[in-house]
Amino acid sequence: MVEMPPESYDNLRRALKLYDVLKVLVDAAQVCPQGLAIAVPGQPKNRYPDLTVLRPEHPEQMRELGQVALTLEMAPPLLVVEVVSPGAKNRRRVYLEKRNQYEWRGIGECWILDPVVGRVTVLSLTPQGYSEATFEGEAVVESPIFPDWAMTAESMLAVG
């Protein structure tokens, strides 16, 4: 087991700000902050995104399972959000390792918030794999899953 440092307070605040916005767009029961385990292929076998938007059937499936977890037998979530912590190892883990595992798992969309470089990356699953769009500053972040999303990259990256 690889021990991970606790999340920074600022990154937690960023994820919680998005939680507040997303629970208006979908049923609040579908929006999970940190703590949800998503089974993925490869190593490690589980990932714990900073924020996850579940499918409508997931809350009941997790109740039946008795765990806050999505197994490989369950459909992938609609969206995962990762906030990048400073450091080369953290960047590699998010931009390469987690990205690949989320793509292999079939997660439709992944948002990577990178406050160090001031960029939001939206990865959208296509038949060929993830397509990537990046947003900075006052650019409104575009989400295929949430076409009415209206936050700018700057507001998503700000500590709320």
| Domain 9-157 falls under CATH 3.90.1570.10 | yes
pLDDT given at position 160:
66
pLDDT at 1: 38
The pLDDT value recorded for residue 159 is 87
Residue stretches of the chain with pLDDT short of 50: 1-5
pLDDT of res. 62: 96
pLDDT at 35: 86
Residue 143: predicted pLDDT: 97
Task: Tell me how far apart the alpha carbons of residues 97 and 78 are, in angstroms, rounded to a whole number.
Answer: 19
pLDDT of residue 82: 96
Residue spans per domain, the chain: 9-157
What tokens does 109 get?
């969309």
pTM score over 0.75:
yes
- Token pair of 118 as six digits: 């001031």
Structure-token pair, residue 55:
């499918």
CA 24 to each of CA 41, 58, 74, 117, 148: distance values in angstroms, whole numbers, following the listed order: 31, 18, 24, 28, 11
Q: How far apart are CA 64 and CA 138, in angstroms?
A: 43
Measured distance CA(71)–CA(118) in Å, rounded = 33
